[in-house]
Amino acid sequence: MSSTKFILGALVGAAIGVQIGILVAPDKGENTRKKITKKSGEYLDEVTGKLNSFFDNLTKKVNDVSSEVDKLAKKAKAEVDKVTR
């Protein structure tokens, strides 16, 4: 299991736990719904930020690997051209 999946699972689990805790807490229904809405928004923002960061890092790594593959391909082509001349 990757650390990203673990972190995402932990965040979702924590969000569900907090919401269950709010639901069983003695408070007015309206206040409870407001708390759930607020916490849900906070967790959604946090998860969205982490996912954006993950995909930004993934994109950078893919671009780095792509650049390295291009360099190796050019080097290999140059070696093949040397041999075939």
pLDDT tens column, 42-55: 888 888 888 899 99
State the residue range of the domain holding 26: 3-84
Average pLDDT, the chain: 85
- pLDDT of 1 > 70? The answer is no
CB neighbours of 25 closer than 8 A, spacing ≥ 6? Answer: 32
Residues 6-27: tens digit of each pLDDT: 887 888 888 888 778 777 777 7
CA-CA distances (angstroms) from residue 51 to 11, 19, 57, 82? 12, 22, 10, 46
- pTM recorded for the entire structure: 0.51
